[in-house]
Amino acid sequence: MGNSRSTSRTVSGEADVSAAAYVNYCEVTADLSKAEFMLGQALHDSDRVLVKGRFVTSPTHLHRFSEILAGACRAYDDRFGAPPAGDGDVSGKPEGEA
């Protein structure tokens, strides 16, 4: 789907970046000086969300992330078509898993 990175920087992490966490929940709050993202997994048959990560960034980066995500969505839609409308799968399991 293409590279969403804006530069050719080497990417590393403080934790094991090879381990992926499934998320189907996103909450974003913003004020004049910062934006906060909370990503998690909404659980099936529950109103609980398991938080997988919380990130804080600047308004400048918030807008850059928005551009990157919009480009990734366009590339996905061009290749596969738009996903069905709605809230998405909140079964608590990654898509394709029973």
Q: Decide if 50 is inside a domain.
A: yes
Quickly list H helices, 1-98: 59-80
CA distance 28 to 66: 12
**pLDDT tens-digit series, residues 42-66:** 988 889 999 999 999 999 999 999 9
Number of domains in the chain: 1
- pLDDT over 70, % of the chain: 74
Q: Dig out the tokens for 70 from the structure.
A: 């919009």
Q: Decide if 5 is inside a domain.
A: no
Q: Decide if 12 is inside a domain.
A: no
Q: Decide if 40 is inside a domain.
A: yes
Q: Decide if 2 is inside a domain.
A: no
Question: Has this prediction a pTM greater than 0.75?
Answer: no
Domain that holds residue 32: 25-80
